[in-house]
């Protein structure tokens, strides 16, 4: 086979052909400077075709839970409303409430709102708004009468309104004016009431010592009254009262309790607490001062003597008050079954400190004398009960000298008194003889 130039190529079949540089067998091919990284494939029309979203089928929600919740809510509201209506209904009718009597004092010019709030404060009603509505529907807003009225929590609203707008019962009864003197005992006060036909003495003593009438001062009473003879001795405030004949003893007690409650002002309670006294101690202390003091002018210093002794128990373990011994004897005489512990506890010559309870019912001057807490150096005093003069001492020697002097004054007074009595008797006899001759 004949060879051609260098460009001649032989194929596998030994056929000879030639390729020239100018040939354009691969005329669509050109050398490119693009790298592999610069190559961007043509988009695939199939792959980039937007897909159609399938619509999800919505599940049908059950309405049963909503119905149950709504039904439960309506049921709960209905129960609450029913309970409220029942509560107001019971309050309006006075069902299941206390039957204790309360004294309500309506001030002049009080409105229905004022009266309803007063009734709520006293525990008579629970809903002032309901009472106001009932009063308005009943057209009673302008019919309320100022003054004292007795009502009970178990009264229906209509009964309460009738009581607060009526004076017929009071007009039919005769008013009785009764004065309890300072220093009287419950027993003496009971006799005064019976003598004036207000109520039975025994019934009064029973109701007065029962307490529990709902006044604020009662919350300060001691829980332990085992050593007391009369639980409420000291709380019958001495004053002038107006009662009715054949009055309920419970209503009588209401008036007296209310007076004491009003006398014990916030200022007095503040002083009492600053001195470290309980209400019962204050009343007991004041009862001793009331009985010991010859007059109101000396109460401050009589109280100071007992204050000084109470604050110096080492030197003065006993108060040694004669009126406490007298009350001890009174208690002993009144007891159905003699109890030496109670009797001796009232006698400050036998028992230390204050008695377990008051020995009388003190006036406001005696209470204020204790609260005043006047400072002094006195530890003794003696009074001439006939002249009202009281002598105070710092030492026992000085006290004994005053005691001797007072005893002499008393002897002179008694001798003079007997002579005066004899002279009056003689004059009366002479007058009777002269009248007989004429």
DSSP annotation of 176 reads E
Q: Who contacts 299 (Cβ-Cβ below 8 Å, separation ≥6)?
A: 289, 290, 293, 365, 366, 369
Least confident of 18-32, 72-86, 380-394: 18-32
Average pLDDT score over residue span 140-168: 84
Structure-token pair, residue 342: 């109670």
Q: Residue 243: name the closest of 163, 179, 175, 341 by CA.
A: 175
Average pLDDT score over residue span 186-195: 97
Q: How far apart, in whole angstroms, are the C-alpha atoms of residue 379 and residue 301?
A: 10
Whether the predicted pLDDT of 114 surpasses 50: yes
Query: Could you tell me the pLDDT band of residue 438, with boundaries at 50, 70 and 90?
Result: low
**Average pLDDT over the chain, rounded to whole?**
83
Query: Could you tell me the pLDDT band of residue 58, with boundaries at 50, 70 and 90?
Result: low
Question: What are the C-alpha distances in Å from 47 to residues 37, 42, 50, 180?
Answer: 22, 11, 8, 115
Q: How far apart, in whole angstroms, are the C-alpha atoms of residue 208 and residue 101?
A: 13
Average pLDDT score over residue span 48-65: 59
Query: Could you tell me the pLDDT band of residue 372, with boundaries at 50, 70 and 90?
Result: very high
- The full length of the chain comes to 438
Question: What pLDDT shows up at residue 319?
Answer: 95
Whether the predicted pLDDT of 88 surpasses 50: yes
Query: Could you tell me the pLDDT band of residue 188, with boundaries at 50, 70 and 90?
Result: very high
Q: How far apart, in whole angstroms, are the C-alpha atoms of residue 435 and residue 253?
A: 53
């Amino acid at each position: 086979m004949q060879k051609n130039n260098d460009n001649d190529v032989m194929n596998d079949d030994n056929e000879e052909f030639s390729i020239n540089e100018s040939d354009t067998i691969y005329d669509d091919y050109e050398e490119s400077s693009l790298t592999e990284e610069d190559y961007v494939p043509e988009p695939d029309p199939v792959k980039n075709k937007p897909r159609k979203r399938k619509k999800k089928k919505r599940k049908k929600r059950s309405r049963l839970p909503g119905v149950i919740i709504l039904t439960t809510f309506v049921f709960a509201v209905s129960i609450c409303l029913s309970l409220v209506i029942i509560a107001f209904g019971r309050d309006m009718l006075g069902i299941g409430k206390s039957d204790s009597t309360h004294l309500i004092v309506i001030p002049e010019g009080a409105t229905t709102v004022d009266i309803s709030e007063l009734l709520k404060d006293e525990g008579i009603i629970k809903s002032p708004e309901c009472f106001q509505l009932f009063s308005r529907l009943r057209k009673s807003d302008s019919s309320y009468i100022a003054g004292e009225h007795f009502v009970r929590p178990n009264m229906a609203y209509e009964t309460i309104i009738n009581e607060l707008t009526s004076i017929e019962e009071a007009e039919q009864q005769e008013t009785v004016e009764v004065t309890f003197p300072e220093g009287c005992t419950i027993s003496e006060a009971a006799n005064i009431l019976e003598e004036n036909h207000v109520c039975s003495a025994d019934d009064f003593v029973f109701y007065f010592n029962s307490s529990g009438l709902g006044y604020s001062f009662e919350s300060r009473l001691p829980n332990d009254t085992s050593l007391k003879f009369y639980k409420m001795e000291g709380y019958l405030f001495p004053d002038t009262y107006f009662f009715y004949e054949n009055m309920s003893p419970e209503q009588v007690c209401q008036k007296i309790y209310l007076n004491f409650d009003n006398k014990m002002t916030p200022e007095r309670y503040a002083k009492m607490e600053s001195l470290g006294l309980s209400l019962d101690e204050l009343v007991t202390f004041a009862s001793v001062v009331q009985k010991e003091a010859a007059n109101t002018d000396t109460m401050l210093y009589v109280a100071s003597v007992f204050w000084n002794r109470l604050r110096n128990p080492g030197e003065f373990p006993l108060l040694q008050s004669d009126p406490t011994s007298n009350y001890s004897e009174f208690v002993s005489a009144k007891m159905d079954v003699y109890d030496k512990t109670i009797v001796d506890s009232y006698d400050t010559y036998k028992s230390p400190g204050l008695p377990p309870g008051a020995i009388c019912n003190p006036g406001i001057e005696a209470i204020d004398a204790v609260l005043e807490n006047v400072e002094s150096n006195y530890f003794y005093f003696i009074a001439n009960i006939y002249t009202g003069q009281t002598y105070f001492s710092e030492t026992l020697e000085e006290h004994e000298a005053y005691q001797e002097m007072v005893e002499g004054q008393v002897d002179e007074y008694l001798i003079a008194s007997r002579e005066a009595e004899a002279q009056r008797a003689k004059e009366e006899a002479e007058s009777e003889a002269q009248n007989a001759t004429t």
